Structure 1
Amino acid sequence: MVTLKDIAAEAGVSVMTVSRVVNGQLSKVSDANIQKIQKIIEKRGYVPSQSARSLSSRSSKIIAIVAQGDGDILEYPYNASMIGQIGSLIQKHGYSPMLYFASEYQGITKKLHAWNVDGAIFLGTFDENLEKIQSDNKIPLIFTDCYSPIRQITNVGLDDFKGGVMAARYLLKKGHTNLAFVGSSTDISGVVRQRLKGFASVCTEAGYRLSAEQVLPDAPTLPALKTLCSGSHPVTAFFASADRLAITLMRQLHELGFRVPQDCSIIGFDDLPTSSYITPSLTTIRQDIHLKAETAVDLLFRHIANAKAPAENIILDVQLIERESVSSLPPDR
């Protein structure tokens, strides 16, 4: 591999002189040396290290996309869509996206510093370490779906509570009175917690209480589902906190011999493309993923342009998309 030292030796100049040419700092280098060094670079096929260039420059033109979890998070359509759209929008601004999977806090700051990034957008639940991340990195940071009480952060989120309210009201309007919720741990995710709170609040107002058995983890067991959907007063409708969970639930109910929506109705959250392709197509609470990505990127570059820009918390609206996975119950059911 060709190094700066190799080029400097062939050109008969210092390594610093070669570095200045490589990084475009030409004011302190003679025209003769610039031409000589550039010819050697072209002849020997030298490719500068991106990390070295970013460290030597005030602006690396790199934006980090920090996603919580390991590489398998791209298996989830929401994550893949958000990361893809954010990355594309970053490139349209003339910057390069750098994707980093953060399974624990300790590696985040080290990676951001090592790449000398100009800013970062965070996807996932970083609430517990958010204050530390903010204090350790003096660059624009944009968070998504954050429910931290810390005020001095910039966040783009959804009206998750409203989404839960809309789901419950729709199911009650369709005649369903014995409902259940499926979602990941509300102790970890503020997003899921707010969706459940909105859903449960409407149930309570209508005189129906969700029992502990009616709040299921994101991977409920088949026996638990069979018990809920059987007997004299079965659950007739589920609200899943994500479309992927709703689709998994459909498959599980099918395995148990229950029909959707004839025996059990399901409503999801996200409105992923898959939701309209499956049979029956999924009724869901829609979030505008493109608008969310665009808002996060716009905020980031606004803060890059103005380091004194105030923190903002932007909450995007949600919408009910009515399809085929929810049936109407007769009054006597």
Structure 2
Amino acid sequence: MTLQDIADHLGVSKFAVSRALAGKDGVSPTTRQRIADTAVELGYSRPVDVAPAQPIIQIVFAEHDPVNSELWMQMQNGIQGEAAAAGFQVQTHWAPDAERVGAIAGISAGFILVGQHSAETVEAFRRSGQAMVRLGWVSPLEQTDQVSGADHEAGNAVGQYLIARGHRRIAFVHGSRVLRGRMERLFGLREAALACAGTRISEIQFSPANPFAEAFLNLSVDGELPTALFCSHDSLGVFVVSELHRLGYSVPDDVSVIGYGDFAAATQISPMLTTLRLPGTDMGIAAFRTVMDRLDPSRRQLPPQRLMLVPELIERDSVANLAP
């Protein structure tokens, strides 16, 4: 007779059974008594002289993403710090396929999924019945808890910041339309422009077939190019500053550039990037606490929630003030 047998008999998680029989918190008094009664009924005998293992939270990263690696490391640090304080182990996995999910679930109290996982992988984790939260964007109405940055709000704030400094021709620079967070920043930027007549928002979506320099110069209208570029992340901002210099433009005298993330690269160029700082460590902490909430049986059936943490605008030297 095993803990899993008891869990299957009652329709609860193995983690709940382990906590109840070890006399630890995390289960309600009613559930604890049901588990204890069932253990006696089924003849379960708890192993002796073996210290109970710490419950495990799994951090599951999507495919390696060099753009977000610094942010993911911050998130992992936040998760691990909270887990250690709460008496949990943390294990990490990279891009497991749906077949591996069952093996991971069998030793887990809950999951934190980081990045853009396939729908099949997400569904496999959901079917496991364990507590789960996603760090990153989810599908519309997806029945999963989510922790993210306030992307739409951030884009709106950048728009207001640039408009207040006299910029009326602004472009959003990115490489792909498939990432929801980046598109939300574009939507927020456009929303800010609606409140200021005469402000024009353009989009530079470049690729190997449509290089940045060509895409930027093609935005010329009556000889006028954008005076400010909002880049979807700091690494891209660094690249854009380099390309503008190569084309003979001065930053910020000719073109202002603003990034997103406040990663190390933002301070390793001249001029240093004005950007928005993402609270990566705090996002990890919030994700772990959300999993802990779901381990409380009284909160397990509550509707999924969306928790957005607010970035901070970091002013440096890459944005010019054109206001009179």
> Which residue of 2 is the match for residue 321 of structure 1?
314
In structure 1, give the amino acid aligned to 2:170: L
For residue 237 of structure 2, the aligned residue among 246, 265, 274 is 246
> Which residue of 1 is the match for residue 35 of structure 2?
none
Deviations 1:268-301 (A, max 9, x none): 1122244245322211122222221111111112
The reply to whether residue 149 of structure 1 matches residue 140 of structure 2 is yes
| Structure 1 residues 172-187: aligned runs within 5 Å | 172-186=163-177
Does the aligned pair in 2 maintain the 1:154–1:313 contact within 8 Å? yes
> Which residue of 2 is the match for residue 61 of structure 1?
55
Size of the aligned set, in residue pairs, is: 277
> Which residue of 2 is the match for residue 162 of structure 1?
153
For residue 99 of structure 1, the aligned residue among 92, 114, 123 is 92
> Which residue of 2 is the match for residue 19 of structure 1?
none
In structure 1, give the amino acid aligned to 2:283: K
> Which residue of 2 is the match for residue 46 of structure 1?
none
Does the aligned pair in 2 maintain the 1:127–1:146 contact within 8 Å? no
The reply to whether residue 120 of structure 1 matches residue 111 of structure 2 is yes
Cα distance in 1 between the residues matched to 2:121 and 2:185:
22
> Which residue of 2 is the match for residue 17 of structure 1?
none
Deviations 1:176-227 (A, max 9, x none): 21111112422x221111111001222244333434xx33247743332344
Does the aligned pair in 2 maintain the 1:246–1:268 contact within 8 Å? yes
Does the aligned pair in 1 maintain the 2:176–2:205 contact within 8 Å? no
Cα distance in 2 between the residues matched to 1:313 and 1:230:
41
- Higher helix residue share: 1
The reply to whether residue 138 of structure 1 matches residue 129 of structure 2 is yes
Q: Name the TM-score, length of structure 1 as normaliser.
A: 0.71
- Aligned-pair identity (%): 25
> Which residue of 2 is the match for residue 286 of structure 1?
277
> Which residue of 2 is the match for residue 215 of structure 1?
204
Cα distance in 2 between the residues matched to 1:134 and 1:328:
49
Gaps of 5+ in 2: 1-21, 23-43
Residue 63 (structure 1) shift: 1.6
Q: Work out which of the two has the higher radius of gyration on C-alpha atoms and give 1 or 2.
A: 1
* Larger RCO: 1 or 2 (CA < 8 Å, sep 6+): 2
Cα distance in 2 between the residues matched to 1:317 and 1:175:
25
Cα distance in 2 between the residues matched to 1:218 and 1:142:
33
